[in-house]
Amino acid sequence: MLMLALLLAAASPDWQLVPGSFERGRGPDGNTVLLDAPDGLIVVDTGRHQAHQDAILAAARARGKPIAAIVNTHWHLDHTGGNAELRAAYPDIPVYGSNAIDRALKGFFPRSRAGAEQFIASGKARPEQIAEIRRDMAAMDDLANLRPTQVVRSTGPTTIAGRRLDVHLEPYAATAGDVWLYAPKARLAIAGDLVVGLTPFMDTACPEGWRAALGHIAAVPFATLVPGHGAAMTRADFDSWRKAFDALLDCAGDTAERQTCIDGWMKDAAAFIPAADKDRVPGMIGYYIDTRLRASPEEKARFCPGGPG
């Protein structure tokens, strides 16, 4: 009987991944995880594009439960852009997230809006790029759906939709407030963009805080880790990705040639970079070396404690 129960438990996990996407020429959708809870489903991250939100809603219907709560791992629009669509279908559901978005509202959002408007005014934006920009701007304007209704202020056990989860807050990592979850029964870690196989997205990163956050993830006994983008990882996968991350920071912090650091990442993280993406990842790593890891001291400190954001 016990064996049967174990087999059934293995056959029907109490969570489900709705994979994100990262097509060329448009912004990505982060991964979404649906977690079964006594009051319905917890949706962790909501993607950016309508097709992703449609996939979340379809997966929820197939599980036969209402969506009862949203958790946003961080405020980036590829993880929060679908809050409005889900809350249109399930009105007034709570949104859990850090208050780092308040910092973004003063810094990152106005800067990115100004840059996008300049790009449109230049006449170089293709129609689909303009549509994408307009979609992001509409999401940025919809603060009622973007900002959390339940602010995560510290690390600790939290009951969401009737399910007890370990909710972790990393104050300065991929953003100024990254939330990641550990579901003990499922031995599942949901890491958000603290882990992204292809390349760490460092646009709003405090790299040393991020490095520390990976140590906190390593300290929980997860068996499966869902990264912010890309396929689920085993613990061994995570360990090897973390080594690649540390090596990239060490290389960029040293006097090594820029290309050496890029080549190092391509080798160390090779298992996490799909063949179809091998040509575009070196450019991304180079970009993050230039704009974050080897930027001016002021720029490097921008998203760290005391920085302007």
The tokens describing 170, both together, are 């990393």
d(CA 63, CA 15): 10
* Strand-pair category, 163-170 with 156-160: antiparallel
CB of 225 to Zn ion, least distance (A): 15
Residues within window 221-250 making contact with Zn ion, judged by CB under 5 A: 228
Instruction: State which residue has the least CB distance to Zn ion.
Output: 30
Cα separation, 46 vs 3, whole angstroms? 36
In whole angstroms, the minimum distance from the beta carbon of 2 to Zn ion comes to: 40
Residues numbered 77-116 forming contacts with Zn ion, rule: CB under 5 A: 78
Nearer to Zn ion, 40 or 82 (CB): 82
Per-residue DSSP letters for 211-228? HHHHHHHHTS--SEEEEE
Question: Where do runs of H (alpha helix) occur along the chain?
Answer: 2-11, 50-63, 77-80, 83-89, 100-106, 108-121, 127-141, 143-146, 207-218, 235-253, 258-268, 281-288, 297-300
- Tell whether residue 30 is a contact of Zn ion (CB under 5 A): yes
CB of 74 to Zn ion, least distance (A): 8
Options 58-66, 108-116, 189-197, 286-294: segment touching Zn ion (CB under 5 A): 189-197
- C-beta of 73 vs 145, nearer to Zn ion: 73
Closest approach, Cβ 200 to Zn ion, in A, equals: 10
**Separation in Å, CA 197 to CA 91, 111, 211, 241, 277:** 34, 27, 15, 7, 11
Q: Nearer to Zn ion by C-beta: 55 or 251?
A: 55
Stretch that binds Zn ion, among 28-36, 44-52, 135-143, 253-261 (CB under 5 A): 28-36
The answer to the question of residue 132 lying near Zn ion (CB under 5 A) is no
* Least Cβ distance, residue 182 to Zn ion (angstroms): 19
Q: Which of 85, 193, 237, 268 is the binder for Zn ion (CB under 5 A)?
A: 193
Look at residues 301, 296, 284 and name the one whose alpha carbon lies nearest to residue 248. Answer: 284
Q: Does 178 interact with Zn ion (rule: CB under 5 A)? A: no
State the minimum distance, in angstroms, from the CB of residue 198 to Zn ion.
10
Nearest Cα neighbor of 261 from 280, 282, 276, 243 is 282
Residue ranges that bind Zn ion, judged by CB under 5 A: 30, 78, 193, 228
